[in-house]
Structures are given as C-alpha cells and as structure tokens.
Amino acid sequence: MANIDELIDGLAQDAAAVKPAPHPFKLSIKWMGWAMAYLIIALALSGLRPDLLLKLHEPLFAAEIAALAGILAATSVSAALLSFPDLHQKRGMAFAPVIAFALLLPVIFIAWHADNPPAPLPVHSFECTLCITLVALLPAAWIFYAMRKFASTHYHWAGSIALLSAFSVGALWLRLHEENDSIMHVVEWHYLPMIVFGIAGWWLGKKILKW
Amino acid sequence: MKKVTGNLQKFYGARVTDKTGNFAALMRQAQSGDQRAYAELLRETSRLLRPFLAKRLSFSSEVDDLLQEILISIHKARHTYDCIRPYKPWVYAIAKFRLQDYLRAHYSDQLLLAVDFDELEESLPDHVTETDFSYESISGEVQKLPEKQVTILRLMHQEGYTAKEVAEKLGMNESAVKVAAHRAYKVLREKLER
C-alpha cells in the first residue's frame, strides 16, 4: 500500500500537461487523406490503366473499386478506434471492416459468375502480390507509427486491421493501374494475399503495438 | 450511459457509482497539468480497481504489483482519454488488459517451471521389488521385436547411448527413436505380463 502511495506521488510529480488525443473519426479521416494522397501520387507515377474510363462504366468493376474504397475507409476507422484502450466506447464500429469485406465478397462472386467465357489469365502471377506489398509498405509503416502514439489494448486486432488498411491501398492502386480482367487472377494474387497479410498483422501487432 | 454502467456492474462486479463525473473532472484537471488532481485521481482509481483485482488474484502482493502496473499504464495512456466519454470503461479496459497480460505471463512461467514426466521418470529410483522376469525371458522377447526396435533397445540399454545419439547413429529424429522405444517397451510389457 505504501508502495502504491509512493508510486502515485512519483507519477503525479512527473505529470506535465498533455493534449488529449484527437477523436478517432478525425484520426481516421486524416489517415484516409494521407492514404488517398499516396494513392494519387503512386498512380501518377505508375500511370492509370488505359481502359479505366470504360471499365468504370461497368457496374461490377465500379462496385469492386467502391468496395475496396469501403475497405480502406472501414479499416481506417477501425484502426483508429483500436488505437484507444476502450475503443473510444464505440466497439460496434470497430467491426466495420467485416461489413466492408462482406460487401466485396458478393461483388467478386457475381464477377466470377459473369466471367463467361473466362477472361484470359495474365502471364504474370505473384508479381501482382509483390507490387501490392511494395506499394503497401509505406502506408503500413505510417499507420503503425501513428498507432504507436496511442495505447491499444487489442494489439493483435489492431495489427491485422492496420495491415489490411495498408494492403487495401495497394490493392486499390493495382486495380486502377493494371489492365487485367481475369477475376480468378485478381482473387488469387490480389485478394487472398491481402487476407494472408491481414493474418500476419495479428503477429506484427503484438510486436509493434505492445506498450 | 446507463447501459454501460449496468454492463460494468455485471462484468466487473465493482460498485459503479455516479462518481464518473468526478473522475472525468479530475482527469481534465490532470491533463491540464494539475498534479494534485492527478494524484487524487490515481488514488481514487486504485481504490476502485483494488476489489476488481482482489477478486481475480490469490495474493495481496499480486494485487499490489498489478495495481502499480495499471497505474503506470494509466499514466502512459492518459492522453487517450478525452473527458467526453465515461472514465470507468476506459480505466477498466486498461485494467483488464494488464490483468490478462499478467495472467498470461504467470501461467507461461508456471509451464516453464513445470517438470516433464519423462524427466521425473529418469530421476525416480529403480524398482526395488523383485520381478517375475528373468534376463533370458526378456532377451528372448526382445529378439522377436522388429529389427529397428531391437537395434534401438540394444544401443540404448546395452551400449548406453542416449536417444539423441541413437537418432544420430540411425539417421532418425530423436522423437522417432523415443516413440519406437516406447512402443517396444509396451509390447514387451504386454508379452511378459501374460
């Protein structure tokens, strides 16, 4: 008991004024803003797919891009909430990525059914995963750096969501850059690796976000 | 707010009163640099958390240790509280997080210190009671085992090699040697006890 009193006195003496952290919605808007700016720069450097305007008129492609943007938004909000010990008392909203992924799944399923006869598979394969990873590296580093400033009590989930957020930037970039209509290829080399990286984030979260 | 308070009572068993406003006010003052308010807040918080921890830990020394860790965590994370939302769910989230960490570390330490049954078996004294088996009967039964098991038993029990050395000699892995030896013992026991 005496130790606790001493500790409290010590902590109180150390306590300087602190600025309360911004609201998680503000944080997530800021993170999304950075991600969008990064995406625009990446697309400006690498170039847009030549048939982008035509493709955006196809409902399935437009829905896929919208779902990916939804994943980016939902994971940003969720990551911001998970940075707070009590999830800013908005636990339900932390599950927003589940809804976003649930929206992407039927889009992929319908696109897969509509892919008849199947579009030719591109000659490359893992290169797409590699490109997405390379593009996602900077957003991943940035979001982990930003989240470390707070105090996550769910570091496994926070790590997963942070990586999903970063990889959704990469996936979005590649869909807007690469001229590729094979949904099988996109699922195999774009979206499944994204899930794998999400799982890797579970482990990475513990390493980086533990405090 | 009522729902949150009700849930807290249900989950944490602590008495949740209308002091939330006081906590929030103290934290607001603490965040603006009022050290006295901060000390008061930490004292009140430790009073709030002690029964919560005492319910879940066996020794008061453990409660004290963990309470100190939680207070340090509150200190580190105090900027993540904004005085707009209730204080108690925030502080209990930190307390629960540290408690889980503590229990995880505690149980993994216990696993590290646990004695393996195999090691225990090696340190037990040999049988002192007489057995019904003669050397000849055991030796005869050993010869009936598959060749690999015979070789393993010979190397381990006649030539005194360890399971690891036998594994290296026979190009097997250590656990495969142990499993083969274990199967051989089982067969021998069944045959000799008949």
Of A7, A12, A150, the CB nearest to B38: A12
Q: What is the pLDDT of residues A54-75, one digit of tens each?
A: 999 999 999 999 999 999 999 9
Question: Min CA distance, A1 vs chain B (Å)?
Answer: 7
pLDDT band (50, 70, 90) for residue B20: low
CA distance A157 to A150: 15
* Cβ neighbours of B97 in A, within 8 Å: 85, 153
Interface probe with A: pick from B80, B87, B91, most Cβ of A within 10 Å: B80
pLDDT band (50, 70, 90) for residue B120: low
Q: Residue B118 above 60 pLDDT?
A: yes
pLDDT of residue A60: 93
CATH code for the structural domain at B2-113? 1.10.1740.10
Q: Residue B89 above 90 pLDDT?
A: yes
CA distance B153 to B177: 10
Q: Residue A154 above 50 pLDDT?
A: yes
Contact predicate B53/B66, CB 8 Å: yes
Q: What is the pLDDT of residues B137-193, one digit of tens each?
A: 777 888 888 888 889 888 888 888 888 888 888 888 877 888 888 888 888 878 777
Chain B contacts in chain A segment 57-116 (CB below 8 A): 83-89
Q: What is the mean pLDDT of residues A13-39?
A: 94
Q: Inter-chain contact B79–A20, Cβ cutoff 8 Å? A: yes
Contact predicate A191/A161, CB 8 Å: no
Of B38, B77, B85, the CB nearest to A15: B38
Question: Min CA distance, B82 vs chain A (Å)?
Answer: 6
- Going from N- to C-terminal start, the domains of chain B cover 2-113, 120-193
Q: Inter-chain contact A4–B4, Cβ cutoff 8 Å? A: no
Element (H, E) at A82: helix A59-82
Q: Inter-chain contact B75–A11, Cβ cutoff 8 Å? A: yes
The pair of structure tokens assigned to B29 is 């003052």
CA atoms within 13 A on the CB side of A155: 19
CA distance B93 to B142: 62
pLDDT of residue A125: 85
Range with the poorest average pLDDT among B2-16, B66-80, B127-141: B2-16
Of A9, A19, A85, the CB nearest to B39: A9
- Give φ, ψ of B173 to 5 degrees: -95, 160
Q: Residue B16 above 50 pLDDT?
A: no
Q: Residue B134 above 80 pLDDT?
A: no
pLDDT of residue B138: 77
Q: How big is the A-B interface in CB pairs under 8 Å? A: 90
CATH code for the structural domain at B120-193? 1.10.10.10
Which of the pair, B14 or A82, is modelled with greater confidence? Answer: A82
Q: How many beta carbons lie within 10 A of that of residue B54, not counting itself? A: 14
Q: What is the pLDDT of residues A72-102, one digit of tens each?
A: 999 999 999 999 999 999 999 999 999 999 9
CA distance B107 to B100: 11
pLDDT of residue B128: 59
Length of chain A: 211
Say if B2-113 and B120-193 have the same CATH topology.
no
Which of the pair, B112 or A51, is modelled with greater confidence? Answer: A51
Q: Of the candidates B82, B83, B57, which has an alpha carbon nearest to the alpha carbon of residue B70? A: B57
pLDDT band (50, 70, 90) for residue A2: low
Q: Where are the alpha helices (DSSP H) in chain B?
A: 2-12, 20-31, 35-56, 60-77, 87-113, 117-123, 135-143, 147-153, 163-170, 174-193
Q: How many beta carbons lie within 10 A of that of residue B139, not counting itself? A: 9
Using the Cβ of A11 and the Cβ atoms of chain B, whether some distance falls under 8 Å is answered with: yes
Tell me whether residue B91 is exposed, middle or buried, using C-beta atoms within 10 angstroms of its C-beta: 0 to 12, 13 to 18, 19 or more.
buried
Q: Residue B124 above 50 pLDDT?
A: yes
**A57-to-A51, A64, A120 alpha-carbon distances in Å:** 10, 12, 21
Which of the pair, B133 or A13, is modelled with greater confidence? Answer: A13
Quote the distance between the C-alpha of residue A51 and its chain's center: 26
pLDDT of residue B14: 43
- Comparing alpha-carbon positions, the chain B residue that sits nearest to A147 is B80
**Contacts of B38 by beta carbon, 8 Å cutoff, 6+ apart:** A11, A12, A15, B26, B29, B30
pLDDT band (50, 70, 90) for residue A129: very high
Contact predicate A147/B76, CB 8 Å: no
Sign of CA dihedral B83, B85, B87, B92: negative
Of A7, A16, A85, the CB nearest to B97: A85
Q: What is the mean pLDDT of residues B7-31?
A: 65
Q: Residue B12 above 80 pLDDT?
A: no
Q: What is the pLDDT of residues B23-71, one digit of tens each?
A: 999 999 999 999 999 999 999 999 999 999 999 988 888 899 999 999 9
Sign of CA dihedral B132, B137, B138, B142: negative
* Cβ neighbours of A18 in B, within 8 Å: 31, 78-79
pLDDT band (50, 70, 90) for residue B194: low
Using the Cβ of A13 and the Cβ atoms of chain B, whether some distance falls under 8 Å is answered with: yes
Question: Min CA distance, A144 vs chain B (Å)?
Answer: 16
pLDDT band (50, 70, 90) for residue B17: very low
Q: What is the mean pLDDT of residues B110-126?
A: 66
CA distance A209 to A139: 16
- Comparing alpha-carbon positions, the chain A residue that sits nearest to B28 is A20
Of A5, A13, A86, the CB nearest to B35: A13
pLDDT band (50, 70, 90) for residue B121: low
Which of the pair, A179 or B107, is modelled with greater confidence? Answer: A179
Q: Inter-chain contact B42–A8, Cβ cutoff 8 Å? A: yes
pLDDT band (50, 70, 90) for residue B133: low
**A8-to-A2, A13, B35 alpha-carbon distances in Å:** 10, 9, 10
- Going from N- to C-terminal start, the domains of chain A cover 25-209
Q: What is the mean pLDDT of chain A?
A: 93
